[in-house]
């Protein structure tokens, strides 16, 4: 009888011990799962931008275009450039993207692209004054063609973001602005005189009502002003904490006002017997409307949040 009591007591103690161990294992498992979940949430929180974060991004298209040229030369099949917003303007090769996170889901953004181009090309031609003295001379003078062009494109808007992991959907809208202007200036080594009314040059002559041999001094595009709106849709893929690769497509409307183009020229006036300069309008002012899918930089970009 005493033996049975002892066995029953031991069995009760063993059951109690198993119950305590099982409860502790359950608590440890639950705590581990909670810690893993909290760690995952902290990781995702670090991975994605937070409220009050700023961001700077750069357009990746020029890099891809350059890589394509390295591997395939000028026949580069990596046709990433596409059609610029403000057609006819010096298209910015690189645009800068900036963002401010108003919240984890909403951001204010801006995009800026600037191009300034200035080139001067010289062309050696016969020195007419030296040639009239000695027609066997090899003396040369230099004509110069100076090209200047500049353009700026700006987008300013807001975006809504959805997604809690590495891939985030980005939807937004922007106001668009653009301006560009260009000019070509000609400088000649041989001057026009009464005895040499069409001096040697490789630039073309054209006729006017007062001079059969007139040459350009300046051709100028007074500039074009563009404005519009766009809707965008894209994604950002976070490859590291707060570092993402982004891509977007858009639907835009652009209005462009083209200012007049004019030309300054010089020629020997056969009626007055004098060298004269004149200014002619080559193209009057005009405007255009476009509704299509184009990208103002940022079509494929890398962005850093901080």
From CA 49, how far away is CA 44, in angstroms rounded? 10
Q: How far is 97 from 211, CA to CA, in rounded Å?
A: 53
Token pair for 25: 């294992």
Q: What is the pLDDT of residue 40?
A: 55
Residue with the larger pLDDT of the pair 210 and 66: 210
Q: What is the mean pLDDT of residues 101-117?
A: 89
Say if residue 100's pLDDT is above 70. yes
Nearest to 124 by CA among 144, 101, 97, 150: 144
pLDDT at residue number 36: 56
Residue 48 to residues 88, 132, 223, 237, 241, Cα–Cα distance (Å): 39, 77, 42, 10, 7
First-last CA distance in the chain: 78
pLDDT value of residue 76: 39
Q: CA-to-CA distance for 251 and 139, rounded, in angstroms?
A: 59
pLDDT of residue 78: 37
């Amino acid at each position: 009888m005493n033996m049975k009591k002892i066995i029953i007591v031991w069995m009760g103690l063993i059951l109690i011990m198993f119950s305590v161990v099982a409860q502790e294992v359950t608590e440890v498992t639950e705590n581990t799962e909670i810690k893993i979940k909290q760690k995952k949430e902290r990781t995702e929180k670090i991975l994605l931008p937070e409220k009050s974060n700023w961001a700077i991004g750069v357009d990746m298209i020029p890099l891809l275009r350059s890589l394509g040229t390295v591997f395939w030369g000028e026949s580069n099949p990596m046709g990433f450039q596409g059609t610029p917003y403000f057609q006819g303007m010096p298209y910015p090769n690189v645009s800068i993207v900036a963002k401010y996170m108003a919240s984890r889901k909403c951001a204010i953004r801006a995009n800026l692209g600037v191009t300034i181009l200035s080139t001067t090309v010289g062309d050696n031609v016969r020195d007419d004054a030296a040639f009239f003295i000695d027609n066997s001379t090899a003396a040369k003078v230099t004509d110069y063609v100076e090209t200047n062009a500049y353009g700026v494109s700006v987008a300013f808007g807001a975006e809504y973001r959805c997604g809690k992991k590495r891939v985030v959907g980005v939807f937004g809208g922007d106001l668009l602005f653009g301006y560009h202007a260009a000019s070509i200036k000609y400088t000649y080594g041989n001057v026009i005189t009464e005895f040499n009314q069409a001096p040697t040059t490789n630039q073309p002559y054209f006729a006017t009502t007062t001079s059969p041999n007139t040459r350009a001094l300046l051709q100028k595009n007074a500039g074009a002003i563009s404005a519009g709106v766009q809707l965008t849709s894209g994604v950002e893929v976070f490859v590291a904490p707060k570092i993402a690769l982004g891509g977007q497509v858009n639907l835009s409307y652009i209005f462009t006002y083209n200012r007049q183009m004019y030309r300054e020229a010089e020629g020997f006036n056969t009626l007055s017997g004098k060298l004269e300069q004149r200014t002619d309008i080559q193209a009057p002012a005009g405007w255009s409307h476009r509704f299509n899918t184009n990208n103002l930089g940022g079509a494929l970009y890398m962005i850093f949040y901080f």
